[in-house]
Amino acid sequence: AQSVTQLDSQVPVFEEAPVELRCNYSSSVSVYLFWYVQYPNQGLQLLLKYLSGSTLVKGINGFEAEFNKSQTSFHLRKPSVHISDTAEYFCAVSGGSNYKLTFGKGTLLTVNP
Amino acid sequence: DVKVTQSSRYLVKRTGEKVFLECVQDMDHENMFWYRQDPGLGLRLIYFSYDVKMKEKGDIPEGYSVSREKKERFSLILESASTNQTSMYLCASSYPGTSGRNEQFFGPGTRLTVL
């Protein structure tokens, strides 16, 4: 069985500040990791994914994430946020032959002027 | 680009009504999913389908059923809507095989209110 823990339910930051959204997972098999973003009243959009290879993954809108197998983490970072980054962010994991995704409960990022 | 569409963005129904939520994808994906999203609970899987006429229960199937008569279309049915089914409903699809490792593509969501 797999599980995902997003350690912060809400993260308020000021515009142009750096941000890190934390995600830890547990799994007994090799994992594939995803970050999705959801803007208000919209569906989920893929930000980035880790399937294999380089542990530093770059995504859209200037976001990146680092896969750390020893710490079972996949934290999302952006060096300088904009007001338009205000959204809810979901970490998800899949693995093995199971084609389902297991989602974390989400982190609401609020960027203030 | 993959496109997943849902029949309604907003829907208001009365308690006891039968409700149909429709989802269509245009990328010939084998797998389709229905989730509900509630504040503080994240996404919870209701049902998924891995082929036409094939379905499996997710984590919270009670009060729901599904239908998949064609590959591109996956319907969620609330047989007798209740107020505790007021929620955001999200449809998603994914392709089989290992290249995408189960990446899912989401529709815009249907916000259902049951009065």
What string of pLDDT tens digits covers the 113 residues of chain A? Answer: 788 999 999 999 999 999 999 999 998 777 889 999 999 888 999 999 998 888 999 999 999 999 999 999 999 999 999 999 999 999 999 876 667 889 999 999 999 99
Which of B51, B89, B40, B61 has its CA nearest to residue A43?
Answer: B89
Give the Cα separation of A47 and B93 in Å (integer).
Answer: 17
Amino acid code (one letter) for A36 = Y
pLDDT of residue A99: 74
Q: Which positions in chain A touch B111 (Cβ < 8 Å)?
A: 41
Q: Which positions in chain B touch A60 (Cβ < 8 Å)?
A: none
d(CA A104, nearest CA chain B) in Å = 7
Question: Do residue A51 and residue B101 have CB atoms under 8 angstroms apart?
Answer: yes
Residue B100 has pLDDT above 70, yes or no: no
Residue of A nearest to B44 (CA): A103
Which of A41, A71, A92, A111 has its CA nearest to residue B37?
Answer: A41
Q: Which positions in chain A touch B101 (Cβ < 8 Å)?
A: 32, 49, 51, 94
d(CA B40, nearest CA chain A) in Å = 6
Paired tokens of B21: 């939520």
Give the Cα separation of A87 and B39 in Å (integer).
Answer: 13
Calculate what percentage of chain B has a pLDDT beyond 70: 94
Question: Do residue B90 and residue A90 have CB atoms under 8 angstroms apart?
Answer: no
Give per-residue pLDDT as tens, B32-68.
Answer: 999 999 988 999 999 999 889 899 999 999 999 999 9
